[in-house]
Amino acid sequence: MVFYMLGQDPEWARSLSQAVSDLREEVRTCVLCGNITTEDVCGVCADPMRDRARICVVETQEDCVALEQSGVYGGLYHVLGGRCSPLEDQEVPAESLERLKSRIAELGVKEVILALSPRIEGDMTAYMIQDALGGYLPGLKLSRLSYGLPVGGSIGYADRATLHVALESRREMDSL
């Protein structure tokens, strides 16, 4: 990559530098879901054609982008901004869970889909969310992506077909 950049003309380098600077200043998180955007509300949350009865919960913005680029999901998202990992001293921010609960109630969400990484931290995060939502809204369906995703892998690296099969074959967790 360095050799490629060195081979470009100086104007290209200045343009790249400005683009990186603009990126850092213009990109922020959606006030509703936590995804990346250049506006206060991202394109997904602003789209009136999205299925507002489903929210797909992901750990990171990268996971959200990967699912969205696959084109296999038409609902809303919620980016947790963390995961449960006691060994790495990581937790899901409490305000993220509260924002999720508020959105579920405000939108009348019928299903929360947990699209969490298929490893122990993803399992712990899923159980933490299940516990947080338990009894919150009777009849709320809580499901998790199927384990068609590689164990120990990341949603961000899965191909479209794998994401599609995993989403379509998700299973419901215990009722809330």
Do the Cβ atoms of 67 and 155 come closer than 8 Å? yes
Taken as a whole, the chain contains a residue count of 176
Q: Give percent of the chain above pLDDT 70.
A: 98
**Which of the listed ranges 2-6, 109-113, 131-135 does the model predict with the highest average pLDDT?**
109-113
Q: Is the pLDDT of residue 67 over 70?
A: yes
Q: How far is CA 97 from CA 37, 82, 141, 159, 165, in A?
A: 20, 11, 17, 28, 27
Other CB atoms within a 10 A radius of the CB of residue 35 amount to: 23
User: Residues 6 or more apart from 139 whose CB is under 8 A from it?
Assistant: 110, 176
Spelled out in words, what is the top-level CATH class assigned to the domain 41-172? alpha beta
Q: Which of 2-16, 20-34, 139-153 has the lowest mean pLDDT?
A: 139-153
Higher pLDDT, 50 or 160: 50
Q: Where does the pLDDT of residue 123 fall: very low under 50, low under 70, confident under 90, or very high at 90 and above?
A: confident
Domain boundaries, the chain: 41-172
C-alpha 14/C-alpha 83 separation (Å) is 38
For 52-62, what is the mean pLDDT? 95
| pLDDT for res 176 | 65
Q: Is the pLDDT of residue 173 over 90?
A: no
For 39-58, what is the mean pLDDT? 96
Rounded to two decimals, the pTM is 0.77
Rg of the Cα atoms in the chain: 18
Per the structure block, which two tokens stand in for 125? 């995060």
Closest Cα partner for 145 from 63, 86, 30, 51? 63
Q: Which of 29-43, 73-87, 98-112 has the lowest mean pLDDT?
A: 73-87
Q: Which of 13-27, 115-129, 141-155 has the lowest mean pLDDT?
A: 141-155
Q: Is the pLDDT of residue 174 over 80?
A: no
Model confidence pLDDT, tens digit, residues 101-122: 999 999 999 999 999 987 888 8
C-alpha 83/C-alpha 58 separation (Å) is 9
| pLDDT for res 148 | 67
Q: Where are the alpha helices (DSSP H) in 27-141?
A: 43-46, 61-70, 94-107, 120-133
| pLDDT for res 168 | 81
Round the average pLDDT of the chain to a whole number and report it. 88
